[in-house]
Structure 1
Amino acid sequence: MRTFVRVTERGSLSAVARDLGVGQSTITRHLYELEEAVGVPLLSRTTRRVTLTEEGSRYYANSVQILRMVDQAGEEVRSMREAPAGTIRISCTAAFGVLHLSRLIFAFQDRYHDISVDLSLTDERINLIQEGIDIAVRLGPLRDSSMKHRSLGQSRRLLAAAPGYLAAYGTPRVPQDLVGHEGIRMSNVAGSDTLALVGPGSERHVVSLGGRLRVDHGLAAREAFLAGRGIGAAHQWLIEDLLASGRLEVVLPDYSLQPVPLSMLIVPERSGVSRVRLLVDFLTRQIGDVPGIGKVRTLC
């Protein structure tokens, strides 16, 4: 089963043979014996590539879960006698991972020297089980009810722009002043063309935000703000250092934007592994110190 999973993921019998340091005939024999045992072809093999059959696709998904449970069982037994060790795979939205989560992981590894971390940065909502991920840190509403969920807080958002841009085009004093300004918008965030602001008297203002620039990555938006490309909404953790240094300014500081939930998803089968529990607890304690993130410790 392990050989089958490896071949599926690598797409090549010879590559798996090299990875394992065995002959290709051994890999072929493992696959033949597995297909004989289950009674159906799992892989379609040609001279150039290996692909899953329909039955193979279902068997692969189940195999990944089964092997992870087998590994977990062994890890839990070993953890009773040994210091925490092994690898944790964590996925995180890209900009937050670069600017903040990576530093927390460094601190975690300084405390637990035998734990390795595989950090994957992506803004896509990947399938955690299929990708072999243990933990995911995500911004926005959650849709995956099969995962364990821990709320990390609410991410505050601000309107911001570079002082040079505001000096050239004017500083908005009320929400309607935003009309006609260049906007920095996110193509992967629904509704980024519209700003919903709540005023000091709790009144709601909805304003359209136009402009010539649209990006799909938080770090690109950060650079656009710095370059004076316009006004836009940004998470406080994305630009806090730039605000503190005066390289950016808050626009309409008396008006607020709806915050965004920050959450952690944990694969249920991995939640009992000691090193995964340690990282989950560590991040829950520490992540509230990130600018603009409130501390929330509720386990759902």
Structure 2
Amino acid sequence: MDRSFVSLEHTRSFVRVAERGSLSAVARELNVGQSTVSRHLQELEEAVGVPLLSRTTRRVTLTDEGSRYYENCLQILRLVEQAGDEARATRSAAAGTVRLSCTAAFGILHITRLIFAFQDRYPEIAVDLGLTDERIDLVREGVDIALRLAPLADSAMKLRALGHSHRILVANPDYLARRGTPTTPEALAGHEAIRMPNVAGSEVLILQAPDGTQHRVPFVGRFRANHGLAVREAVLAGRGIAAAHHWLVDDLMRSGRLVPLLADYTLPSVPLNMLIVPERAGIARVRLLIDELVAEISRLPGIRPTAT
């Protein structure tokens, strides 16, 4: 390969392999054959004249030269993308793909509708929505923005606090007719709890009384699930009492299918944060979606915006 020629296609393949550590994963992402990705890397290394990647049977890693080359390639690709944004801005139309990761139940029940409205205003912007409750490496997974319900402190990402998610105790009226309605925190100990074992501390409820007194109550039951939508279905089916995010059950409470319990007591709220890959924050379509999410999420049930 002529050393004077390194295409953007070669550069993109190299950057994604460096970030994901797998040729096969990048081939699937780019919708090309693995042999194509391998050829891009081989031709790129021939063009620059030094080995950029170290390959083993399990993983591909950067060499020292590859690490320096990777940082420069990121700058080049960022400039190319921003140049395209500026060119498109002359016809007042943002375009391209934004990759968003979101906590699963929150994404299904609320964020999808926000995306639909966003795309109605910006029909040339595609949004790839990934749903997971697991912490992911945004750069490695090619994600631009992530929404997470948890305390976060990721120094490598731009963190924007969106607010806190208010939680409430809820139950099905039929369940309460069978088992009785608890009127004190201590009365919860005699009830079936529906909880998420993947949430730290979920086996104990901490409720604060109007006078500031805290009550710690064991919260155990026969049904546990690691997904918010499964908790929603279980409490709706009358399997017990759940400590649920307001946004998870707001529609069911408004219809009377679920009722709130111990309304004078409060549960600890959960921070709602947005993580942004710094290199992507300046891209027009990413900025537009960030602004949309910030404005609209604050309107969702039980979301208390962060004071500014």
Residue in 1 aligned with 2:249?
239
Cα separation, 2, equivalents of 1:130 and 1:104: 26
SS at match of 2:127: strand
- Normalised TM-score (structure 2): 0.84
Residue in 2 aligned with 1:197?
207
SS at match of 1:179: helix
Q: 1:184 to 1:42 in 2, by over 3 A?
A: same
Q: Establish whether residue 81 from structure 1 lines up as the match of residue 90 from structure 2.
A: yes
Query: Structure 1, residues 2-24: CA drift from partner, whole Å, max 9, x if none?
Result: 333566766349957x9459x95
Q: Which moved more, 1:129-138 or 1:61-70?
A: 61-70
Deviation at 1:230, TM superposition (A): 0.9
Query: Structure 1, residues 89-130: CA drift from partner, whole Å, max 9, x if none?
Result: 111000000000000000000011111101111101111111
SS at match of 2:141: coil
Deviation at 1:142, TM superposition (A): 0.8
Deviation at 1:29, TM superposition (A): 6.3
Q: Counterpart of 1:171 in structure 2: which amino acid?
A: T
Q: Which moved more, 1:79-88 or 1:152-161?
A: 79-88
Q: 1:11 aligns with which of 12, 23, 38?
A: 23
Among the aligned pairs, what percent are the same residue?
50
Q: Establish whether residue 215 from structure 1 lines up as the match of residue 218 from structure 2.
A: no
Q: Is the 8 A contact 1:195 1:208 kept in 2?
A: yes
Query: Structure 1, residues 20-56: CA drift from partner, whole Å, max 9, x if none?
Result: 59x95895364154167363362537xxx78414639
SS at match of 2:298: helix
Q: 1:28 aligns with which of 34, 39, 52?
A: 39
Residue in 2 aligned with 1:157?
167
Residue in 2 aligned with 1:176?
186
Residue in 1 aligned with 2:63?
55
Cα separation, 2, equivalents of 1:139 and 1:225: 21
1:33-48 equivalences under 5 Å are 33-34=44-45, 37=48, 39-40=50-51, 42-44=53-55
Q: Establish whether residue 72 from structure 1 lines up as the match of residue 81 from structure 2.
A: yes
Query: Structure 1, residues 156-204: CA drift from partner, whole Å, max 9, x if none?
Result: 1001111111111111110000113111111211000011101122211
SS at match of 2:199: coil
1:58-137 equivalences under 5 Å are 59=67, 62=71, 65-66=74-75, 68-82=77-91, 83-137=93-147
Q: Unaligned regions of 5+ residues in structure 1, if any?
A: none
Q: Is the 8 A contact 1:92 1:123 kept in 2?
A: yes
Cα separation, 2, equivalents of 1:280 and 1:81: 21
Q: Is the 8 A contact 1:165 1:230 kept in 2?
A: yes
SS at match of 1:234: strand
Q: Counterpart of 1:69 in structure 2: which amino acid?
A: R
Q: Is the 8 A contact 1:14 1:24 kept in 2?
A: no
Residue in 1 aligned with 2:177?
167
